Amino acid sequence: EVPVGVKRIMHNVFNPKVWGETSKIKSVILPDTVVEVGHRAFANCPKLKTFTAPAGITYGTNAFEGCKNLADDTGLIIIDNTVLEYLGDDEVVSIPEGVHALSDNLFSVIYSANPGNKKITTVNLPTSLKKIGKCYLSYFNKKFNLIKYNTILCNCQEKNASFLYII
């Protein structure tokens, strides 16, 4: 449990690879005073199974990278109606209804340690989606589509595609 009064969980603070240790963290409870969780703050904590936090926290990129026990059956880590990580290896990923946002670099193959991102060809988006983070789709070798209501939002056929255009 993080003590009351803490406002920020800094980058890599619980990432065992940074400290040359093995993570033993199984549960995290953040107090209402926390407003930000830094980049890779809890990355590489495979035993982390429960995460309790107040709504409205800002999460850094890959905050939960490698935390497979936090992911749902589809490989998504969803906290506060935001998909923060994808740890699966499917060609087609469907974001569930009720999700409002996708985090930065969610399906990137260069900013994420998830090798499954290389297999993705299609991401189906829900009607509830309101925000898509910076989406670096670099180095996809095949056609990559983000689909919402059967309308293509992004059709990135070239390597180094860096921007998401809503059509």
Per-residue tens of pLDDT for the chain, all 167 residues: 788 889 999 988 888 777 777 678 899 999 999 999 999 899 988 899 999 999 999 999 889 988 999 999 999 999 999 999 988 888 888 999 999 988 887 876 656 667 777 787 778 888 888 887 776 444 443 455 555 544 444 444 444 443 444 43
Rounded to two decimals, what is the model's pTM?
0.80
Q: What is the DSSP letter of 115?
A: G
Selection from 88, 130, 131, 129 nearest residue 107 by Cα = 88
Cα torsion angle, 7, 26, 67, 69, sign: negative
Distance CA 55, CA 137 (A): 28
